[in-house]
A and B are shown apart, each in its own frame.
Chain A
Amino acid sequence: MSPKYQPVIGLEVHAVLETRSKMFCDCPVVDSTHEQPNVAVCPVCAGMPGMLPVVNRSAVDYALRVALALNCEIHNTSIFARKSYFYPDLPKGFQISQYEQPLATKGWVMVETTEGEQRVGIRRVHMEEDTGKLTHVVKDGQRYSLVDLNRSGVPLLEIVTEPELHSVEAARNCAYTLRSILRYLGVNSGNLEKGLLRIEPNISNRPLGILEFATRVEIKNLNSFRSLERAVSYELARQEALVEKGGVVKQQTLGWDDTRGTTVPQRSKEYAEDYRYLPEPDLPPLVVDPAWVEATRAALPELPHAKRRRFIQDYGLSGYDAGVLVAERETAEFFEAVVMAAKVADAKQTANWITGNLFGLMNEAGTSVTDLLFGPADLAKLLDLVATGELNPAGARQVLAELFAKGGKPAQIVKKHGLKQVSDAKLLRNWVAKALDGNPEQVADYAAGNQPVFNWLFGQVMQTSKGKANPNRLRAELERQLAERSPEGGIR
């Protein structure tokens, strides 16, 4: 970014609260990207005449968890309001939301950036209902739209941050942190692609040294963190170029075209700017009594930020490793379970194996910790075998690959493939002698000062041992024999 401007970014996040039933009726919450249209619909969420909303207590409970995790002030009495506009995916002609008295306000969240930790303000957290979904089709030359109300009335949580993010990285990390928190709380699976989590940044650029905010734009329909980053970068650059040319940024809602990599003005959904908010007369004020708040607070899990801090402190992990491990609650819990079960292997080694080899396998397969065919105790056993020298790293990787692919017990896999590390001095001596006898040129090269040849020779012996040789002992034996054969008695 140009040093002339400071990016000012806020996030508006809509998270589906993945409760069993909808916000105001008994209909189940289904995956509206997969389910047949209009299978989870009743007269209430279809906006039939005479139907009334009734608040789903469990949605309030979910919302409360998030509000507390974001350190918000909880309003013991909040008010639902009707937000009116006409659109075919909105069956009642209004969306029940919260407006003047939301569930919670004035919170904050800690966000990591390369420049350190930043406390980002949360302006408000409120509940509302989702709309249905339109599919536009052309058939026999006729253009028309189909309405699917499976999503209509699904509980949504809206989280609005203060415009306190000043870089693409900060915006992305804030979004990621919020997602992580939602997942930790078990209220949202964090899927952007399916629209379960929708992140809408508002973006402006202000000249450095100016306190006032410049005109902002909002970007909708970002279905990945990658597109979030790209869209914010693009928009900051576009606004800067526009202003530099003497242009004026227009306040508007933009969409993101991922293929072309540009923002595009959105076809306006609201034909009136005026939502004519009205306190929802069908619902009494929502009362969340202090006992409910305290019980929810007490039941909150350890959140990623606190967990990360603890991992650094208790396990001596690097900030980076700790961050990677706590990003997903399941990974963090898996890590801790391995550490608990391991008798010899230490936490740092465990972290390395998980973030390195195991993540590699999971990325390749596109799976996550919850899909693993083995438990933390199995990985602990494997790492113990490495730590005690019974298994060398190469063998251990082979065992891990098999655990990952088929499951099983590490000791049995080691036995089955004869992977137990060989530390027997006589055997090592013979293998090394054989390798050196068979490669006199390389031995001579080494003696002449070509050090990398050492590794090649090491590899030869390892191959002979089928990877089972204890690498440290092998290294020592190889060094010893090479020195013996060196005219100058070794070149160290």
Chain B
Amino acid sequence: MSELHSLNVASALKGLRSGAFSSRELTAAYLQRIEQLNPRLNVFLYVAADSALKAATAADKKLSKSRKTKAKLPPLLGLPIAIKDVLTVAGIPATAGSRILEGFVPSYNATSVQRLLDAGAVILGKTNTDEFAMGSSTENSAYGVVRNPWDEERVPGGSSGGSAAAVAAGLAPVALGTDTGGSVRQPAALCGLTGLKTTYGRVSRYGLIAFGSSLDTVGILARSAQDAAILLNVMAGYDPLDATTLESKAPKVKLDGKATVKGLKIGVPKEYFIEGVQAEVAKGVREAIAHLEGLGAQVREISLPHTEYALPVYYIIAPAEASANLARFDGVRYGLRVEDQNLIDMFSRTRGQGFGPEVKRRLMIGTYALSAGYYDAYYGQAQKVRTLIRRDFEQAFEQVDLIAAPATPSTAFRIGAHTGNPLEMYLEDVFTLPASLAGVPGLSLPAGFDHQGLPLSLQLLGPHFSEERLLQVGHAYQQITDWHTMLPMDLLKA
């Protein structure tokens, strides 16, 4: 049997049910590995060891009881999980990767977290992130950069870099992330994981510390499409606490192995194979698409003509919303407060010291874009172009069932490679931003390795609420490939 920490969700749940190992053993194995590797990787900002072991013990009681009574068990009972530190867990510090929230302990669970807890999951801790999820490398975290388990000199991507590295390094079997412009799909791609960005409105944002409210989604970083499906089934669906959630009853995703790839129409957008994309990345995507063709998919080239506007549109809309969302961090009620003579100086100093440079940059961009006299030219115009981008997808999905494209222009880059040039960093998300603006779901799938041994990835995009199809195709792909089962060898030896 493989070591406990390299199990995926499906096999971990199976082992827990059968009694092959207890939740306490499984949880302890992860905690031990976190203790061993976290100093190297800087993945966890907070490890909830005591409460995790307590929850695991409680889960074990139910598990052993049910083995006698055959009682129906909550679907994730005893499963350890890591949570990105922009989702709140009651009683556990929440920082959003920022100094400004230092010392803040929320009294409430995010709905996504609550549903995992209700399903019996055991929370290991909170993972590192770019400050307020603003970044593509976790280099913007106030608590230091996360190391990519495949090459510790490289970034894991971001902003859910901590969650991605945790799963890739075997510090958690699965983790929650959030995706506003690519923050699940991009780190999944850079860490060789299956990363699901959900449809906007499918999983509640209640308890998600907001960045761009019209773009923020909860996502999953997993070792397989099947694992992602297991978590999605628990979290999806209407939440009375989030007015933007839809579907009163979310259909459960079933992955039955009899994949539906045959006859599936897959579109490959020409705008995603442009100059600046690493040759190996493009090749990896083409090969993955060829695999799908081999499963019976019909592949054709399509066009998403407004793709090039996604980046400028995103960098108006997301910062504009952020400038309002982050106004609450004023030092009055919680988190950091830097005292001064008067109110305005207290606000300024608190925010001046509490926010890092990238957050400040975006708050200034957003504030400017919403200012009287500029609103129409920037925010108003961006909203119009956003509609065109959404229409691109709508029109594409009239012709094809899914879209296949690269998730990132490159494999994991070196720490510090782009920190001097924000625009270069922004370009990392050029292939994930359009789907975020359209609100459609996306899935990153491991698709091999480049010549340096860094993970390659395929991004699948589907119409609103098409997670089931995305995961089915991902699952089918993972039946004939084994990229998703590979783990970073250096760390396995550790």
Contacts and interface: CB of A to CB of B under 8 A. Distances in A.
Given A43-B107, A91-B328, A271-B344, A54 B101 contact: no
B243 A55 contact: yes
A88 interface: yes
A204 B106 CA distance: 50
Nearest to A282: B213
**Chain A contact patch, size range:** 20 to 34
Interface string B321-348: 1011011111011100000000110010
Interface string B58-96: 000000000000000000000000000011100000101
Given A49-B88, A86-B347, A283-B243, A94 B324 contact: yes
B103 interface: no
Interface in A227-259: none
A93 B324 contact: yes
A112 B167 CA distance: 73
A46 B333 contact: yes
Given A48-B334, A276-B371, A84 B327 contact: yes
B243 A82 contact: no
Most buried by B among A53, A271, A278: A278
B101 A49 contact: yes
A194 B328 CA distance: 28
A364 interface: no
Interface stretch (B147-155, B202-210, B306-314, B415-423): B202-210
A55 B108 CA distance: 20
A487 interface: no
Contacts, number: 108
A52 B206 contact: yes
Contact of B330 (A88, A271, A274): A88
A86 B324 contact: no
Contact of B213 (A54, A274, A281): A281
Given A48-B108, A50-B88, A277-B370, A92 B241 contact: no
A93 B332 CA distance: 11
Nearest to B110: A50
B105 to A, nearest CB: 11
A51 interface: yes
B46 interface: no
B320 interface: yes
A393 interface: no
A50 B207 contact: yes
A88 B213 contact: no
Contact of A43 (B108, B320, B324, B343): B108
Contact of B106 (A50, A94, A147, A273): A50
A407 interface: no
B110 A92 contact: no
Contacts of A91: 328, 332-333
A47 interface: yes
Interface residues of B, number: 46
B460 to A, nearest CB: 26
A88 B320 contact: no
Nearest to B207: A50
A158 to B, nearest CB: 20
Contacts of A50: 86-88, 94, 106, 108, 110, 205-210
A84 B210 CA distance: 16
Interface in B233-281: 240-244
B205 A52 contact: yes
A48 B334 CA distance: 8
A49 B96 contact: yes
B243 A47 contact: no
A91 B329 CA distance: 9
B214 interface: yes
A277 B375 contact: yes
Interface string B419-439: 000000000000000000000
26 contacts: A47-B328, A49-B88, A49-B328, A49-B329, A50-B206, A50-B208, A52-B205, A52-B243, A54-B240, A54-B242, A88-B330, A88-B332, A93-B326, A93-B330, A147-B332, A147-B333, A274-B372, A276-B324, A281-B213, A281-B214, A281-B244, A281-B321, A282-B243, A282-B244, A284-B243, A284-B244
Given A48-B333, A50-B207, 19 more contacts: A43-B106, A46-B333, A48-B108, A49-B101, A50-B86, A50-B206, A51-B206, A52-B205, A52-B241, A54-B240, A54-B243, A276-B367, A276-B370, A278-B324, A278-B370, A282-B210, A282-B213, A282-B243, A283-B244
Interface of A: 43, 46-55, 82, 84, 86, 88, 91-94, 147, 271, 273-274, 276-278, 281-284
